[in-house]
Amino acid sequence: MLTQSVEEYVAMRRAAGFAFKSAESLLKTFAAYSEARGECYVRAPIAIEWAGLAQTIHTRARRLGVVIQCSRYLHAEDACHEIPPNVFGTGHRPRPVPYILTLNEIRLLVDAASKSGYCTLRRHTYSTLFALLACTGLRVSEAIRLRFNDITADGLVIRRTKFCKSRLVPLHDTARAGLDRYLQRRIPYAPGDDHVFVSIRRKPLLLGDVNAAFHTAARAVGLPDEPKRARPTSHSLRHTFAVRALQTCPDGRDAITRHMIALSTYLGHVNVANTYWYLEAVPELMNDIAEKCERFVMGGRP
């Protein structure tokens, strides 16, 4: 049965460290669709027909791409499985241009969060969270999963994030002091939960809660919110950290390579190419590169 073959493929991908949640759901849906038509192998026409049921070309490409990856694996074991042609394209959307916050905008955001809503722990939670994101470059999902025992003398232990990787993020003394001040208020508020950041419901924060609080603070300080332009999100705090770190990169090919690898490891990127992406995605960094190239061509030092 195709469903069993799909389950074996999903188990293999998970064993390799992939979360594979959305892809698993798509493949199970495709398997059920195929089996309803009496097929127990991947058939290219049925795969294209199933993918074509999606409303947008991007979603069609995404659905068919997942089946193509699976079919390549299954075909290697059993040639009866067909590998569909990629008729809908790659399905990869261009990454949006990140919004890079200024130091003053970060200060205003943290201050706005500290005054938002009723005078409850919520104010301290979001002002501390936004400050921590800005000075560590953590993903929002990583920060809201932090537990008390993840705060160590050496820094924050970020456990089993993407591809089940863990890493240690050092904390500056000022960041540690701010976190300690927050915990003095937070621990008595919800002593039965060991998450560092909790909501006013005494439950761990949800990603939607953080995004809503960030947008409230962003509107309060007048940050741009226009369609078709780069707009600040809670992830902008991580983007900003990465860009500021890249701007401190020393000159010299070897030094740049070491700096990029260190930053990629610090940020928890699976591939260093994800770190290099900032060089082409952020106008400030592109301008820096252009100026250094121009000086090099003119005979000066890069």
Catalytic residue ranges: 139, 162, 235, 238, 269, 278
| 260, 76 contact by CB (below 8 A) | no
Is residue 155 within a helix (H) or strand (E), and if so which, with residue range? strand 155-158
Q: What share of the chain is helix, strand, coil (3-state, %, to 5)?
A: 60, 5, 35
Please state the φ and ψ torsions of residue 104, each to the nearest 5 degrees: -65, -40
Report the b/e string of 97-130 with b at 16+ CB within 10 A. ebbbbeeebbebbbebbbeeeeeebbbbbbbbbb
Q: For residue 203, give Cα distances in angstroms to 5, 123, 173, 197, 236.
A: 39, 15, 28, 9, 25
| 109, 130 contact by CB (below 8 A) | yes
Return the residue matching tokens 């905008």: 105
Phi-psi region for residue 91, left (φ > 0), alpha (ψ -120 to 50) or beta? left
